[in-house]
Amino acid sequence: MLMLKQGLQQKLLQKLSPQQIMVIKLLELPGLQLEERIKKELEENPVLDQGGKEEYSEEAPTENKDDNLVEDRDKDKEEFSVEDYMNEEDVPSYKLLTNNHSKDDKYEEIPFSGGTSFHEFLISQLGLRILDAEKAALTEYMIGNIDDDGYLRRDIDNIIDDLAFATGIETSYEELIESLRIIQDFDPAGVGARDLQECLLLQIERKARFNPDVKNAKLILKKYFTEFTRKHYDKIQARLNLSEEDLKAAMDEILKLNPKPGSMFNSPMTQESPAIMPDFILEEEDGELKLSLSSKNSPELYINSSYSNMLLQYSSDKGKKNKEHTEAANFVKQKMDSAKWFIDAVKQRQTTMLLTMNSIIHFQHDYFLDGDEKKLKPMILKDIAERTNLDISTISRVSNSKYIQTHFGIFPLKYFFSEAMQTQTGEEVSTREIKTILQECIDAENKTKPLTDDKLAAILKEKGYKIARRTVAKYREQLNIPVARLRKELK
């Protein structure tokens, strides 16, 4: 029989403190997200302030000629006191914690309108059609199944089943196809297509039918779409008996079409801004490099002196020790500690970021002088971790989603890290250097006869970089360069 026993056992465990966790989380944030995090902290903590620096002192306030200046400065701001955050009734203990809200509190997000969506645009066109109620309902349901690119990628039979189970409407394949044809007549041209070929055909059919180039383009899309996608131009030209000029004119008509008609309907509420805000700024003056943090990464935070003075006042009023004063003092003390931890975490983040970036610049000094990619040395996270005496995970957090503005462009920090390869002479070079040469070879190739991966490997070997064909293919894919067949162009 198994006996249960109780006993004590000592274990040595590593546990991160709340302050360390805060530093780690702040270190992962890029500048824009740090700004949002600081705004949130300023809203939640009345003790924390931002702007001109203000020193915090533990000493009791004394009357001097600067008191009037402090009072005038505080009057210029919108004044708050502890009483604004405290009720006259008994305050629950949870409100004195950092995350001072109850799990029972109700939070509601208020929706707001920001323009017409793609599907609303389609439904608005449906309202202009004269349809009976049943046909209008079926067509609207079909619009709901169209994705953001403008395609109907669901099977018609599955939509029939959904209508039967979800709405109780029984319909047929032919009726839904009729609804689909109505949608395909909407703007933008090509909407409601079930594949790329149908999408391009819907668009080309709206063009001038008597234009010979449009006519040839329609024939290519309808009868030789597979050859078109594989860029077998010679076969298309032979089968349609076209001259090179006519084939090129027809291809130009096809290239004007939009393969994703839904993407052209820009919604300001669904599209993210592509703007990049640099976290570091590097300047070059007379051959010397100067690094600094952007303003979003170096905020001026301080503890509002009015609250520190308030806490000292509560401490000095020994004769007025009651429940209200104790709770108020605890509230201010907790908020002051939280503000100090946050300020220290932000400062530690700045120090770690500058230490890491300075080490990267020192390692890649020759590259940062003029931005020549061929001067990039092989560098991995471990190299910078050893130079800074920081953990590899810390270097990874600093490098992730961070950007640096240089005198030759803005780059993500991950751009400067690459593996090493040896040349035929035994010299170690960065894989990025090889990718740069590979890109140059492809840019200079004859587009009517693009270089295959085997030929690219042979060219690199002639230049002293002995790498296999599969490695060339891997680097080409990392550069988002298609295979030779898909790079082929007409004269």
For the chain, percent helix, then strand, then coil, each to nearest 5?
A: 55, 5, 40
Q: Residue 111 burial by CB count (10 A; 0-12/13-18/19+): exposed, middle or buried?
A: exposed
Examine the pLDDT at 178 and tell me if it is beyond 70: yes
When pLDDT is cut at 50, 70 and 90, the band that residue 87 belongs to is very low
Per-residue pLDDT, 69: 37
Residue 294 exposure: Cα atoms within 13 Å on the Cβ side = 18
* Separation CA 451–CA 468 (nearest Å): 15
Per-residue pLDDT, 378: 85
Q: Which of 297, 428, 315 is nearest to 357 (CA)?
A: 297
Per-residue pLDDT, 356: 93
330-334, 343-347, 422-426, 472-476: range with lowest mean pLDDT: 422-426
When pLDDT is cut at 50, 70 and 90, the band that residue 317 belongs to is low
Examine the pLDDT at 340 and tell me if it is beyond 80: yes
Give the pLDDT mean for 412-423.
79
Give the pLDDT mean for 350-363.
93
**What interhelical angle do 18-28 and 323-363 show, nearest 10?**
50
Per-residue pLDDT, 425: 63
What does the pLDDT look like over 304-316, one tens digit per residue? Answer: 777 777 767 766 6
Cis peptide before 212 (omega within 30 of 0): no
Give the pLDDT mean for 110-124.
69
**What interhelical angle do 323-363 and 392-399 show, nearest 10?**
90
Examine the pLDDT at 107 and tell me if it is beyond 80: no
Q: Is the dihedral of CA 89, 94, 97, 99 positive or negative?
A: negative
Per-residue pLDDT, 248: 87
Per-residue pLDDT, 269: 45
Give the pLDDT mean for 140-161.
88
Per-residue pLDDT, 360: 94
Question: Tokens in use for 204?
Answer: 């080309």
When pLDDT is cut at 50, 70 and 90, the band that residue 181 belongs to is very high
Q: Residue 31 burial by CB count (10 A; 0-12/13-18/19+): exposed, middle or buried?
A: buried
- Report the percentage of the chain scoring pLDDT > 90: 10
What does the pLDDT look like over 248-292, one tens digit per residue? Answer: 888 888 888 888 888 766 544 444 445 678 889 999 888 788 999
* Separation CA 300–CA 305 (nearest Å): 15
Per-residue pLDDT, 13: 67
Neighbours of 228 (CB within 10 A): 20
Per-residue pLDDT, 157: 87
Per-residue pLDDT, 25: 85
- Report the percentage of the chain scoring pLDDT > 70: 78
Examine the pLDDT at 65 and tell me if it is beyond 60: no
Please tell me the pTM assigned to this model: 0.52
Per-residue pLDDT, 484: 82
Per-residue pLDDT, 362: 93
Per-residue pLDDT, 27: 85
* Separation CA 362–CA 383 (nearest Å): 12
Residue type, 380: I
Arithmetic mean of pLDDT over the chain: 78
Examine the pLDDT at 454 and tell me if it is beyond 80: yes
* Separation CA 355–CA 79 (nearest Å): 39
8 Å CB contact between 179 and 135: yes
Per-residue pLDDT, 58: 43
Q: Which of 14, 15, 20 is nearest to 397 (CA)?
A: 20
Residue 137 CB contacts under 8 Å (≥ 6 apart), including other chains: 169
Residue type, 171: T
Beta bridge partners of 284: 289
Examine the pLDDT at 54 and tell me if it is beyond 50: no
Examine the pLDDT at 57 and tell me if it is beyond 80: no
Cis peptide before 188 (omega within 30 of 0): yes
Residue 256 CB contacts under 8 Å (≥ 6 apart), including other chains: none
- 119, containing H or E segment: helix 118-126
What does the pLDDT look like over 28-53, one tens digit per residue? Answer: 888 888 888 888 888 888 888 887 54
Per-residue pLDDT, 256: 86
Domains and CATH numbers, the chain: 118-264 (no CATH), 280-416 (no CATH), 420-487 (1.10.10.60)
Long-range CB contacts (within 8 A, 24+) of 97-100 = 97/334, 98/334, 98/338
Per-residue pLDDT, 363: 92
